[in-house]
Structure 1
Amino acid sequence: MPISDLVAAFMVGILGAGHCMSMCGGVAAAVSFGTSNSQNKLPYLLFYNGGRLLSYGIIGAIGGGLVSGIVGVSHVSQSLIWLRLAAAIMMILLALYIGQFWNGLSYVERLGKGLWRHISPLTSKLLPLKSPFAALPFGMVWGWLPCGLVYSALSWAAVSGNAFHGLLIMLAFGLGTLPAMLFVGTSAESLKKLLNNMIFRKFSSLILLMYGIVTAYSVYNQL
Protein backbone atom coordinates (compact mmCIF):
# COMPACT_ATOMS: atom_id res chain seq x y z
CA MET A 1 0.00 0.00 0.00
CA PRO A 2 1.41 3.42 -0.95
CA ILE A 3 2.17 5.60 2.07
CA SER A 4 0.37 8.39 0.23
CA ASP A 5 -2.91 6.49 0.74
CA LEU A 6 -2.41 6.51 4.50
CA VAL A 7 -1.54 10.21 4.42
CA ALA A 8 -4.72 10.84 2.40
CA ALA A 9 -6.81 8.83 4.90
CA PHE A 10 -5.26 10.82 7.75
CA MET A 11 -6.14 14.07 5.94
CA VAL A 12 -9.72 12.88 5.46
CA GLY A 13 -9.91 12.37 9.23
CA ILE A 14 -8.53 15.84 9.95
CA LEU A 15 -10.77 17.58 7.42
CA GLY A 16 -13.83 15.67 8.56
CA ALA A 17 -13.13 16.19 12.26
CA GLY A 18 -15.67 19.00 12.45
CA HIS A 19 -18.34 16.49 11.44
CA CYS A 20 -16.98 14.04 14.02
CA MET A 21 -17.17 16.67 16.75
CA SER A 22 -20.82 17.25 15.88
CA MET A 23 -21.59 13.51 16.00
CA CYS A 24 -19.39 12.36 18.89
CA GLY A 25 -18.12 15.56 20.52
CA GLY A 26 -20.95 15.55 23.03
CA VAL A 27 -20.06 12.01 24.06
CA ALA A 28 -16.38 12.93 24.44
CA ALA A 29 -17.38 15.97 26.50
CA ALA A 30 -19.55 13.75 28.71
CA VAL A 31 -16.56 11.45 29.25
CA SER A 32 -14.49 14.46 30.26
CA PHE A 33 -17.00 16.32 32.43
CA GLY A 34 -18.35 13.12 33.96
CA THR A 35 -15.20 12.85 36.02
CA SER A 36 -14.57 14.81 39.19
CA ASN A 37 -12.50 17.98 39.11
CA SER A 38 -9.73 16.25 41.02
CA GLN A 39 -9.36 13.57 38.36
CA ASN A 40 -7.13 13.88 35.33
CA LYS A 41 -9.53 13.85 32.38
CA LEU A 42 -6.90 13.11 29.73
CA PRO A 43 -6.63 9.34 30.49
CA TYR A 44 -10.41 9.00 30.13
CA LEU A 45 -10.36 10.78 26.77
CA LEU A 46 -7.36 8.77 25.56
CA PHE A 47 -8.98 5.44 26.43
CA TYR A 48 -12.32 6.54 24.96
CA ASN A 49 -10.70 7.55 21.68
CA GLY A 50 -8.48 4.48 21.77
CA GLY A 51 -11.61 2.32 21.90
CA ARG A 52 -13.13 4.31 19.05
CA LEU A 53 -10.01 3.80 16.88
CA LEU A 54 -9.92 0.12 17.79
CA SER A 55 -13.46 -0.28 16.45
CA TYR A 56 -12.49 1.60 13.28
CA GLY A 57 -9.58 -0.78 12.77
CA ILE A 58 -11.78 -3.84 13.32
CA ILE A 59 -14.47 -2.77 10.86
CA GLY A 60 -11.77 -1.76 8.36
CA ALA A 61 -10.18 -5.20 8.58
CA ILE A 62 -13.57 -6.90 8.26
CA GLY A 63 -14.50 -4.80 5.23
CA GLY A 64 -11.16 -5.23 3.50
CA GLY A 65 -11.11 -8.97 4.20
CA LEU A 66 -14.65 -9.57 2.97
CA VAL A 67 -14.24 -7.68 -0.29
CA SER A 68 -10.83 -9.17 -1.08
CA GLY A 69 -12.21 -12.63 -0.31
CA ILE A 70 -15.17 -12.13 -2.63
CA VAL A 71 -12.89 -10.84 -5.39
CA GLY A 72 -10.50 -13.75 -4.81
CA VAL A 73 -13.13 -16.47 -5.25
CA SER A 74 -14.67 -14.69 -8.25
CA HIS A 75 -11.37 -14.97 -10.19
CA VAL A 76 -11.85 -11.54 -11.78
CA SER A 77 -8.99 -10.67 -14.11
CA GLN A 78 -6.72 -7.91 -12.78
CA SER A 79 -8.75 -7.82 -9.56
CA LEU A 80 -6.18 -5.82 -7.57
CA ILE A 81 -6.09 -3.12 -10.24
CA TRP A 82 -9.87 -2.88 -10.20
CA LEU A 83 -9.84 -2.62 -6.39
CA ARG A 84 -7.22 0.11 -6.60
CA LEU A 85 -9.39 1.97 -9.11
CA ALA A 86 -12.44 1.60 -6.84
CA ALA A 87 -10.39 2.97 -3.91
CA ALA A 88 -9.37 6.00 -6.00
CA ILE A 89 -13.03 6.64 -6.90
CA MET A 90 -14.01 6.44 -3.22
CA MET A 91 -11.27 8.96 -2.44
CA ILE A 92 -12.74 11.32 -5.04
CA LEU A 93 -16.23 10.90 -3.56
CA LEU A 94 -14.89 11.54 -0.04
CA ALA A 95 -13.18 14.73 -1.25
CA LEU A 96 -16.46 15.93 -2.77
CA TYR A 97 -18.28 15.04 0.47
CA ILE A 98 -15.81 16.86 2.72
CA GLY A 99 -15.88 19.96 0.52
CA GLN A 100 -19.69 19.79 0.48
CA PHE A 101 -19.73 19.72 -3.30
CA TRP A 102 -21.87 16.58 -3.08
CA ASN A 103 -23.66 15.05 -0.09
CA GLY A 104 -24.59 11.70 -1.60
CA LEU A 105 -22.42 9.78 0.85
CA SER A 106 -24.60 10.91 3.76
CA TYR A 107 -27.03 8.15 2.75
CA VAL A 108 -24.40 5.61 3.76
CA GLU A 109 -25.41 6.28 7.38
CA ARG A 110 -28.67 4.46 6.75
CA LEU A 111 -26.77 1.20 6.27
CA GLY A 112 -25.62 1.18 9.89
CA LYS A 113 -28.73 2.34 11.70
CA GLY A 114 -30.16 -1.16 12.01
CA LEU A 115 -26.95 -2.45 13.57
CA TRP A 116 -26.70 0.60 15.87
CA ARG A 117 -30.13 -0.09 17.35
CA HIS A 118 -28.77 -3.36 18.73
CA ILE A 119 -25.43 -1.92 19.89
CA SER A 120 -26.46 1.42 21.45
CA PRO A 121 -28.16 -0.11 24.58
CA LEU A 122 -24.70 -1.29 25.66
CA THR A 123 -23.64 2.31 26.34
CA SER A 124 -26.03 2.70 29.29
CA LYS A 125 -24.61 -0.44 30.87
CA LEU A 126 -21.08 0.98 30.69
CA LEU A 127 -21.91 4.19 32.57
CA PRO A 128 -20.80 5.73 34.85
CA LEU A 129 -17.12 5.40 33.97
CA LYS A 130 -15.38 4.40 37.20
CA SER A 131 -11.88 4.32 35.71
CA PRO A 132 -10.04 5.31 32.52
CA PHE A 133 -10.02 1.65 31.48
CA ALA A 134 -13.83 1.65 31.52
CA ALA A 135 -13.76 4.34 28.82
CA LEU A 136 -12.14 1.87 26.38
CA PRO A 137 -15.19 -0.39 25.81
CA PHE A 138 -17.40 2.72 25.92
CA GLY A 139 -15.37 4.19 23.04
CA MET A 140 -15.48 0.88 21.17
CA VAL A 141 -19.28 0.92 21.23
CA TRP A 142 -19.44 4.51 20.00
CA GLY A 143 -17.04 3.61 17.20
CA TRP A 144 -19.99 1.85 15.54
CA LEU A 145 -22.18 4.98 15.56
CA PRO A 146 -23.81 5.45 12.11
CA CYS A 147 -21.77 8.26 10.54
CA GLY A 148 -21.61 9.08 6.84
CA LEU A 149 -17.96 10.09 7.05
CA VAL A 150 -16.87 6.95 8.92
CA TYR A 151 -18.84 4.60 6.69
CA SER A 152 -17.57 6.37 3.58
CA ALA A 153 -14.00 5.87 4.80
CA LEU A 154 -14.95 2.25 5.49
CA SER A 155 -16.08 1.89 1.87
CA TRP A 156 -12.62 3.06 0.84
CA ALA A 157 -10.99 0.65 3.28
CA ALA A 158 -13.13 -2.22 1.99
CA VAL A 159 -11.67 -1.90 -1.52
CA SER A 160 -8.10 -1.35 -0.29
CA GLY A 161 -7.01 -4.87 -1.26
CA ASN A 162 -7.00 -6.95 1.94
CA ALA A 163 -7.89 -6.94 5.64
CA PHE A 164 -4.57 -5.47 6.80
CA HIS A 165 -4.77 -2.56 4.36
CA GLY A 166 -8.38 -1.96 5.41
CA LEU A 167 -7.27 -1.83 9.04
CA LEU A 168 -4.47 0.65 8.22
CA ILE A 169 -6.78 2.93 6.22
CA MET A 170 -9.31 3.14 9.07
CA LEU A 171 -6.62 3.65 11.73
CA ALA A 172 -5.04 6.46 9.71
CA PHE A 173 -8.48 8.02 9.29
CA GLY A 174 -9.19 7.67 13.01
CA LEU A 175 -5.85 9.23 13.96
CA GLY A 176 -6.79 12.22 11.81
CA THR A 177 -9.93 12.76 13.90
CA LEU A 178 -8.05 12.34 17.19
CA PRO A 179 -6.74 15.91 17.80
CA ALA A 180 -10.17 17.50 17.50
CA MET A 181 -11.82 14.82 19.62
CA LEU A 182 -9.28 15.28 22.43
CA PHE A 183 -9.78 19.03 22.62
CA VAL A 184 -13.43 19.04 23.62
CA GLY A 185 -15.04 21.95 25.42
CA THR A 186 -14.21 25.61 25.04
CA SER A 187 -10.89 25.14 23.27
CA ALA A 188 -12.58 22.97 20.68
CA GLU A 189 -14.93 25.69 19.46
CA SER A 190 -12.24 27.65 17.62
CA LEU A 191 -10.89 24.41 16.17
CA LYS A 192 -14.35 23.38 15.04
CA LYS A 193 -14.85 26.76 13.37
CA LEU A 194 -11.60 26.32 11.44
CA LEU A 195 -12.40 22.74 10.39
CA ASN A 196 -15.89 23.79 9.26
CA ASN A 197 -14.70 26.95 7.50
CA MET A 198 -15.93 26.54 3.93
CA ILE A 199 -12.85 28.09 2.32
CA PHE A 200 -10.58 25.79 4.33
CA ARG A 201 -12.70 22.73 3.63
CA LYS A 202 -13.07 23.37 -0.08
CA PHE A 203 -9.39 24.14 -0.60
CA SER A 204 -8.32 21.04 1.35
CA SER A 205 -10.87 18.82 -0.37
CA LEU A 206 -9.59 19.99 -3.76
CA ILE A 207 -6.13 18.72 -2.81
CA LEU A 208 -7.61 15.30 -1.97
CA LEU A 209 -9.69 15.43 -5.15
CA MET A 210 -6.63 16.03 -7.33
CA TYR A 211 -4.79 13.18 -5.60
CA GLY A 212 -7.75 10.86 -6.20
CA ILE A 213 -7.97 11.83 -9.86
CA VAL A 214 -4.22 11.34 -10.41
CA THR A 215 -4.42 7.95 -8.68
CA ALA A 216 -7.46 6.88 -10.72
CA TYR A 217 -5.77 7.96 -13.97
CA SER A 218 -2.54 6.08 -13.21
CA VAL A 219 -4.47 2.92 -12.29
CA TYR A 220 -6.73 3.21 -15.36
CA ASN A 221 -3.64 3.24 -17.60
CA GLN A 222 -2.70 -0.18 -16.20
CA LEU A 223 -5.91 -1.79 -17.45
Structure 2
Amino acid sequence: MKPLIESLAKNTHNVWAKEKIKRGWTFGLNEFVDATQKRTPHLVPYEQVDERIKEANREGAKENLKVLQLFGIFLEPPVHEHDEIAEKEISALNSQQRTYRAEATYTVTTGKWYFEFEVLVEGFMRIGWMDVSAAPDTSLGVDDKSYGFDGHLVKKWHLGAESYGKEWKKGDIVGCFLDLNDRTISFSLNGDLILDPSGSEMAFDNVSLILNTKNWNQQ
Protein backbone atom coordinates (compact mmCIF):
# COMPACT_ATOMS: atom_id res chain seq x y z
CA MET A 1 0.00 0.00 0.00
CA LYS A 2 2.84 2.41 0.80
CA PRO A 3 4.23 2.48 -2.79
CA LEU A 4 0.73 3.26 -4.10
CA ILE A 5 0.26 6.09 -1.59
CA GLU A 6 3.65 7.54 -2.53
CA SER A 7 2.81 7.31 -6.25
CA LEU A 8 -0.50 9.09 -5.71
CA ALA A 9 1.16 11.77 -3.59
CA LYS A 10 3.75 12.36 -6.30
CA ASN A 11 1.06 12.49 -8.97
CA THR A 12 -0.85 15.09 -6.93
CA HIS A 13 2.21 17.33 -6.95
CA ASN A 14 2.87 16.81 -10.67
CA VAL A 15 -0.73 17.64 -11.60
CA TRP A 16 -0.57 20.76 -9.43
CA ALA A 17 2.75 21.78 -11.01
CA LYS A 18 1.50 21.30 -14.58
CA GLU A 19 -1.52 23.48 -13.87
CA LYS A 20 0.69 26.17 -12.33
CA ILE A 21 3.01 26.12 -15.37
CA LYS A 22 0.03 26.33 -17.71
CA ARG A 23 -1.07 29.50 -15.90
CA GLY A 24 2.35 31.12 -16.27
CA TRP A 25 3.90 30.40 -12.86
CA THR A 26 7.67 29.92 -12.54
CA PHE A 27 10.04 28.99 -9.73
CA GLY A 28 11.08 31.62 -7.20
CA LEU A 29 12.68 31.55 -3.77
CA ASN A 30 9.57 33.18 -2.31
CA GLU A 31 5.89 33.34 -3.22
CA PHE A 32 5.48 36.42 -5.43
CA VAL A 33 2.69 37.72 -7.66
CA ASP A 34 2.36 40.99 -9.58
CA ALA A 35 1.06 42.13 -12.96
CA THR A 36 3.92 40.48 -14.88
CA GLN A 37 5.29 37.65 -12.72
CA LYS A 38 3.98 34.74 -10.68
CA ARG A 39 6.54 32.73 -8.70
CA THR A 40 6.40 29.97 -6.11
CA PRO A 41 9.15 28.08 -4.26
CA HIS A 42 7.18 24.84 -4.55
CA LEU A 43 7.51 24.50 -8.34
CA VAL A 44 10.30 21.92 -8.08
CA PRO A 45 10.63 18.18 -8.78
CA TYR A 46 8.73 16.07 -6.25
CA GLU A 47 11.92 14.81 -4.61
CA GLN A 48 12.77 18.42 -3.62
CA VAL A 49 9.31 19.33 -2.31
CA ASP A 50 8.97 20.40 1.32
CA GLU A 51 8.33 17.34 3.51
CA ARG A 52 5.19 18.96 4.95
CA ILE A 53 3.67 19.16 1.48
CA LYS A 54 4.62 15.54 0.77
CA GLU A 55 2.96 14.45 4.00
CA ALA A 56 -0.20 16.41 3.19
CA ASN A 57 -0.32 14.76 -0.25
CA ARG A 58 0.13 11.33 1.34
CA GLU A 59 -2.72 11.97 3.77
CA GLY A 60 -4.92 13.05 0.89
CA ALA A 61 -4.02 9.89 -1.01
CA LYS A 62 -4.87 7.73 2.01
CA GLU A 63 -8.29 9.36 2.36
CA ASN A 64 -9.02 8.89 -1.35
CA LEU A 65 -8.09 5.22 -1.15
CA LYS A 66 -10.37 4.73 1.86
CA VAL A 67 -13.30 6.22 -0.05
CA LEU A 68 -12.65 3.95 -3.03
CA GLN A 69 -12.43 0.90 -0.78
CA LEU A 70 -15.83 1.74 0.72
CA PHE A 71 -17.22 1.29 -2.77
CA GLY A 72 -15.36 -1.98 -3.24
CA ILE A 73 -12.66 -0.49 -5.48
CA PHE A 74 -9.11 -1.59 -4.73
CA LEU A 75 -6.10 -0.21 -6.59
CA GLU A 76 -2.75 -1.84 -7.18
CA PRO A 77 0.45 0.21 -7.35
CA PRO A 78 1.73 0.66 -10.94
CA VAL A 79 4.85 -1.22 -11.97
CA HIS A 80 6.43 2.04 -13.13
CA GLU A 81 5.09 5.45 -12.15
CA HIS A 82 7.06 8.25 -13.73
CA ASP A 83 5.47 11.40 -15.09
CA GLU A 84 8.30 12.38 -17.42
CA ILE A 85 6.42 15.28 -19.01
CA ALA A 86 5.64 16.98 -15.70
CA GLU A 87 9.19 16.52 -14.43
CA LYS A 88 10.59 17.84 -17.72
CA GLU A 89 8.47 20.99 -17.39
CA ILE A 90 9.44 21.57 -13.77
CA SER A 91 13.13 21.00 -14.51
CA ALA A 92 13.04 23.40 -17.49
CA LEU A 93 11.33 26.25 -15.65
CA ASN A 94 13.58 25.77 -12.62
CA SER A 95 16.79 26.04 -14.65
CA GLN A 96 19.15 29.00 -14.97
CA GLN A 97 18.08 31.17 -17.91
CA ARG A 98 19.27 34.22 -19.81
CA THR A 99 17.24 36.65 -21.91
CA TYR A 100 18.39 38.00 -25.30
CA ARG A 101 16.42 40.95 -26.62
CA ALA A 102 16.83 43.27 -29.61
CA GLU A 103 17.50 46.96 -29.01
CA ALA A 104 14.55 49.35 -28.99
CA THR A 105 15.83 50.90 -32.24
CA TYR A 106 14.77 47.69 -34.00
CA THR A 107 11.14 48.06 -32.93
CA VAL A 108 8.61 47.29 -35.68
CA THR A 109 5.17 48.91 -35.89
CA THR A 110 3.82 48.09 -39.37
CA GLY A 111 4.19 45.53 -42.14
CA LYS A 112 5.29 41.90 -42.19
CA TRP A 113 8.41 40.59 -40.46
CA TYR A 114 10.34 37.36 -40.18
CA PHE A 115 13.42 36.05 -38.42
CA GLU A 116 14.77 32.56 -37.81
CA PHE A 117 17.26 30.77 -35.62
CA GLU A 118 19.04 27.44 -35.61
CA VAL A 119 18.77 25.18 -32.58
CA LEU A 120 22.41 24.62 -31.62
CA VAL A 121 21.92 23.01 -28.21
CA GLU A 122 19.26 20.96 -26.49
CA GLY A 123 17.28 22.45 -23.63
CA PHE A 124 14.56 24.88 -22.71
CA MET A 125 14.18 27.93 -24.98
CA ARG A 126 11.38 30.28 -25.97
CA ILE A 127 11.48 32.48 -29.04
CA GLY A 128 9.01 35.05 -30.28
CA TRP A 129 7.91 38.66 -30.05
CA MET A 130 7.50 41.11 -27.18
CA ASP A 131 6.07 44.60 -26.72
CA VAL A 132 8.78 47.24 -26.59
CA SER A 133 7.37 48.59 -23.32
CA ALA A 134 7.72 45.27 -21.45
CA ALA A 135 10.09 45.20 -18.49
CA PRO A 136 13.54 43.71 -19.27
CA ASP A 137 13.16 40.93 -16.68
CA THR A 138 9.71 39.83 -17.88
CA SER A 139 9.62 36.23 -19.07
CA LEU A 140 8.46 35.70 -22.64
CA GLY A 141 4.82 34.66 -22.89
CA VAL A 142 3.77 34.92 -19.26
CA ASP A 143 1.83 38.19 -19.66
CA ASP A 144 -0.24 40.00 -22.31
CA LYS A 145 2.77 41.80 -23.82
CA SER A 146 4.60 38.87 -25.41
CA TYR A 147 4.12 35.78 -27.56
CA GLY A 148 6.45 32.81 -27.83
CA PHE A 149 7.01 29.26 -29.01
CA ASP A 150 8.92 26.64 -27.04
CA GLY A 151 9.90 23.50 -28.94
CA HIS A 152 11.46 21.84 -25.91
CA LEU A 153 8.21 21.50 -23.96
CA VAL A 154 6.20 21.85 -27.22
CA LYS A 155 4.06 24.78 -26.13
CA LYS A 156 3.09 28.27 -27.21
CA TRP A 157 3.20 31.00 -24.59
CA HIS A 158 0.92 34.02 -24.04
CA LEU A 159 -0.58 34.64 -20.61
CA GLY A 160 0.61 31.14 -19.79
CA ALA A 161 1.21 28.05 -21.92
CA GLU A 162 -0.75 25.55 -23.99
CA SER A 163 0.25 22.60 -26.17
CA TYR A 164 1.36 23.61 -29.66
CA GLY A 165 3.62 22.45 -32.45
CA LYS A 166 6.30 19.79 -32.60
CA GLU A 167 9.42 19.12 -30.59
CA TRP A 168 12.50 20.72 -32.10
CA LYS A 169 15.90 19.06 -32.19
CA LYS A 170 19.49 20.17 -32.51
CA GLY A 171 20.08 21.47 -36.03
CA ASP A 172 16.46 22.46 -36.68
CA ILE A 173 15.61 25.89 -38.12
CA VAL A 174 12.75 27.72 -36.41
CA GLY A 175 11.05 30.64 -38.18
CA CYS A 176 9.05 33.42 -36.51
CA PHE A 177 6.50 35.31 -38.61
CA LEU A 178 4.79 38.57 -37.62
CA ASP A 179 2.04 40.15 -39.74
CA LEU A 180 1.05 43.50 -38.26
CA ASN A 181 -1.46 44.06 -41.07
CA ASP A 182 -3.51 40.97 -40.17
CA ARG A 183 -2.29 41.07 -36.54
CA THR A 184 -1.10 37.45 -36.50
CA ILE A 185 1.99 35.51 -35.40
CA SER A 186 3.04 32.16 -36.87
CA PHE A 187 6.01 29.82 -36.51
CA SER A 188 7.71 27.32 -38.81
CA LEU A 189 9.96 24.32 -38.26
CA ASN A 190 12.48 23.51 -41.00
CA GLY A 191 10.48 25.49 -43.55
CA ASP A 192 7.07 24.02 -42.74
CA LEU A 193 4.47 26.19 -41.04
CA ILE A 194 3.39 24.81 -37.68
CA LEU A 195 -0.34 24.12 -37.49
CA ASP A 196 -2.49 24.18 -34.39
CA PRO A 197 -4.89 21.28 -33.62
CA SER A 198 -7.61 22.93 -35.73
CA GLY A 199 -5.31 23.14 -38.76
CA SER A 200 -4.75 26.90 -38.55
CA GLU A 201 -1.35 28.33 -39.50
CA MET A 202 -1.74 31.12 -36.93
CA ALA A 203 -0.28 30.58 -33.50
CA PHE A 204 -1.73 33.91 -32.29
CA ASP A 205 -4.23 36.38 -33.72
CA ASN A 206 -5.53 39.82 -32.68
CA VAL A 207 -1.95 40.93 -32.06
CA SER A 208 -1.89 44.73 -31.77
CA LEU A 209 1.32 45.57 -29.92
CA ILE A 210 4.46 47.52 -30.74
CA LEU A 211 6.65 44.48 -30.97
CA ASN A 212 10.26 43.53 -30.54
CA THR A 213 12.07 40.21 -30.95
CA LYS A 214 13.10 38.25 -27.89
CA ASN A 215 14.82 34.91 -27.38
CA TRP A 216 15.05 33.19 -24.00
CA ASN A 217 17.75 30.54 -23.85
CA GLN A 218 18.52 27.99 -21.14
CA GLN A 219 22.05 28.01 -19.78
Scaled to the shorter chain, the TM-score interval is under 0.3
TM-score (normalizing by structure 2): 0.28
Which is greater in Rg?
2
Flag the structure with more relative contact order, 1 or 2, with Cα contacts below 8 A and sequence separation at least 6: 1
TM-score (normalizing by structure 1): 0.27
